[in-house]
Amino acid sequence: MRAYIAFAQKAFAREATYRFTIFAEIGSLVLRVYLLRSLWTALYAQNLAPADVPRHAMITYATVALLMSLILEVDGTRLIRDKLREGTIATDFMKPISLPLYFFSDGFGQTMLHALLVLPSLLLALLFVRIDVPSFTTLAAFAFTFALGYLVNFFLNFLMNAVAFWTLETFAIQLMVRWSSDLLSGQILPLVFFPGVLGKIVQALPFAAIYWTPLRIYIGELPQAQWGAAAATQCGWLGFFAAVSYLVWRLAERRVVVQGG
């Protein structure tokens, strides 16, 4: 256990050495919040936005989604890809550790550093964008479903990076999944904007478990009575992706063991 805590600590320290990236990230966030706010303000002024979501709820939604992306967009298992390309993964296999747990701890350490950035950004959002703050119960439910979404996102990310065991390069597939996920997870748009059957399909996809579920709780789109069911669906996806990840890892490990890293 101590080893995995140490992995997370070192990953945290490692990320902190790239100071410029961190400042650039905050800068880019401020810019994106500003752009989105202008965009939605303009859309509402032209009456182009759906009438059933008030303007301020929409801006809150977009801002909170951006804050979440600070944590969710960390490519925490990038390490797998890098190590495969450099061939250093062989030395990790020579250590008395579980590699999937190592990757998780490392990813978690990276995430924790980026999570720190959420604090100043949140302050900014509260002061200047004046996002809505819901009740404590809602916040707690949001935090819980967000944690589940984080795990679903982690496994999705892990699976994409694990593709490198077969292809070494994952750029194209990551771009594809990232774009679909941005749109289908509710990061850019609330999923209620998708009309009719399309909306039903999109809400049934696993991407919805990442942003949409916690966000709709935050903005009060989901009645409290349905919170449990929503979290259960997230857990279902979590179990599914964890199982697939386990299988993929077994295959990847075999591949290394047969081909020798």
Partner 1 sequence: MGALRTLFSREYTEKVAVDGISMALDAGELVGYIGPNGAGKSTTIKMLTGILTPTGGTIEVAGLIPYERRKANARNIGVVFGQRSQLYWDLPLRETFELLRAIYDIPGERYRKNLADFVELLEMGEFLSTPVRQLSLGQRMRGDFAAAMLHSPRIVYLDEPTIGLDVVAKEAIRQFVARINREQGATIILTTHDIADVERLCRRIVIIDKGTLIYDGTIERIKERYGSRRTLVVELCDAQPDFHVEGAELESREGNTIRIRFDRNAIGAEVLIRRVADAYGVNDVRIEEPELEAVIRRLYIESSAAGARA
Choose one: 107-115, 143-151, 170-178, 250-258; the region binding partner 1 (CB under 8 A).
250-258
The answer to the question of residue 3 lying near partner 1 (CB under 8 A) is yes
DSSP letter for each residue of 61-113: HHHHHHHHHHHHT--TTHHHHHHHHHTTHHHHHTSSS-HHHHHHHHHHHHHHH
Choose one: 10-18, 22-30, 117-125, 200-208; the region binding partner 1 (CB under 8 A).
10-18
Q: Which two tokens stand for residue 51?
A: 């009438």
Q: Rank residues 94 and 127 by Cβ distance to partner 1 and give the closer one.
A: 94
Element (H, E) at 167: helix 164-167
Determine the Cα angle at 44 with ends 58 and 124, to 5°. Answer: 45
Whole-number minimum distance, CB 90 to partner 1, in Å? 6
Q: How many residues does the chain have?
A: 261
Q: Rank residues 84 and 191 by Cβ distance to partner 1 and give the closer one.
A: 84
The answer to the question of residue 255 lying near partner 1 (CB under 8 A) is no
The answer to the question of residue 256 lying near partner 1 (CB under 8 A) is yes
Q: Do 245 and 158 touch, CB atoms closer than 8 A?
A: yes
Choose one: 47-55, 91-99, 166-174, 196-204; the region binding partner 1 (CB under 8 A).
91-99
Instruction: Identify which of 55, 62, 4, 70 has the alpha carbon closest to the alpha carbon of residue 33.
Output: 62
Q: Rank residues 111 and 185 by Cβ distance to partner 1 and give the closer one.
A: 111
Which residue's entry shows tokens 């182009």?
48
Whole-number minimum distance, CB 242 to partner 1, in Å? 21
Q: Which residues bind partner 1 (CB under 8 A)?
A: 2-3, 5-7, 10, 13-14, 17-18, 86-88, 90-91, 93-98, 256-261
